[in-house]
Amino acid sequence: MKIGFIGLGIMGRPMALHLKAAGHELFVPDRRSLPDDIRTAATVEADAAAVAEHCEIIILMVPDTPDVERVLFGAHGVAEGLHPGKLVIDMSSISPTATKDFAERVARLGCGYVDAPVSGGEVGAKNAALTIMAGGATVDFERARPLFELMGKNITHVGETPGAGQVCKVANQIIVALNIQAVAEALTFARKAGADPARVRQALMGGFANSRILEVHAERMINRTFAPGFRIKLHQKDLNLALSSAREMGMALPNTATAQQMFSVVAAAGGADLDHSALVQAIEIMAGM
């Protein structure tokens, strides 16, 4: 198929290259920052509208809700190149409420819309092992599924309503943030008490406390390797979505709010672009370490 891909950052670039490697024809909008391997692999168009004009399916992988709106509906955006029968797949992590609005606007142009945010970070993107959480009509999801299978392993159609995938991703980010905070507190406690945090981690990995966060992020905390990964500022964005959605529904997310404040401590000290495992620095500050 002819596939447009917009958003070629840490995760979008390897995702797009998996599609190309499978034999699909790749189209991307021109950017000064466009990686050389993408320029070689893809047909480079002037803008997002031209990409949409030439493609059957257009995939977005951009940072935040305003970015998706601009790419879709801004000047020379995707909407200008849409014709009935095309499919838009948004794999960004954005507002569930805004997603419903975007899907309705795309539907009025006679096109399908699937929101399919992902989890798994840079490693999952490079290994085509992402978890993909999709919302949208079954017919649109099934059309997108073969592409998802080239980029991910755990693929779930969460619901028929656009935005269902985004709700699932927000829930995912709550769990990940709270697990990072729990591991950070445990390792800082162990270190403050005089134990070797590396050996504590090794012991805990054999018991009920084991998790992917303990396996991957605890090692980063111990070795002080905080190159992203998944940036703190992006996790802050996701937790803002959780907290604002909870406020709209009249519910409280107290532990999510605490994790957000821990991220804010690190961001305020200049660490917004560090990996989210660097949350441990906030715990260490409060421990006088």
233 given a catalytic annotation: no
Q: What is each CA distance from 31 to 34, 52, 121, 217, 265, in whole angstroms? A: 5, 16, 23, 33, 34
Residue type (1 letter), 42: A
Q: Which residues contact 48 (CB under 8 A, 6 or more apart)?
A: 4, 6, 29, 71, 76, 77, 78, 81
pLDDT at 122: 87
Q: Is the peptide bond before 77 cis (omega within 30 degrees of 0)?
A: no
Query: Cα 130 to chain center, whole Å?
Result: 10
Q: Is 175 helix (H, G, I), strand (E, B) or coil?
A: helix
pLDDT at 107 over 90: yes
Per-residue pLDDT tens over the stretch 122-149: 889 999 999 999 999 999 999 999 999 9
User: Comparing C-alpha atoms, which of 12, 21, 228 is closest to residue 118?
Assistant: 12
pLDDT digits (tens, 9 = 90+) for 217-239: 999 999 999 998 889 999 999 99
On whether the pTM is more than 0.85, the answer is yes
Residue 253 has pLDDT above 90, yes or no: yes
Give strand pairing partners of 133.
Answer: 156
Tokens of 61: 């992988």
The answer, yes or no, to whether residue 282 has pLDDT greater than 90, is yes
Q: Which of 20, 86, 100, 169 is catalytic?
A: 169
DSSP 215: I
